[in-house]
Amino acid sequence: MDGHDADLKKELDATLHARRELGEEYESALVDSFLEKVDQRIDGAVDRRVRRQLAEHQMTKARDSRSPAPTDSWGERFGFGIVSLVLAIPLSAIGGGVADLAGLLVAWAGIVGVNVFQATRVNPDLFGTRGRKRPKDEDRWED
> Residue 108, Cα to own-chain centre: how many angstroms?
41
pLDDT of 109 over the 90 cut:
yes
Least confident of 4-8, 13-17, 79-83, 112-116: 4-8
Q: What is the DSSP string of 82-121?
A: HHHHHHHHHHHHHHHHHHHHHHHHHHHHHHHHHHHHHHHH
Work out the average pLDDT over 7-29: 86
Domain-wise residue ranges, the chain: 3-66, 74-128
Q: Is residue 111 within 8 Å of 84, Cβ to Cβ?
A: yes
pLDDT of 75 over the 50 cut:
yes
Give the rounded percent of residues in the chain with a pLDDT score beyond 90.
17
Say which residues have a Cβ less than 8 Å from residue 33's Cβ, sequence separation at least 6: 15
pLDDT of 123 over the 60 cut:
yes
How far is 18 from 14, CA to CA, in rounded Å? 6
Comparison of pLDDT for 140 and 73, the residue scoring more:
73
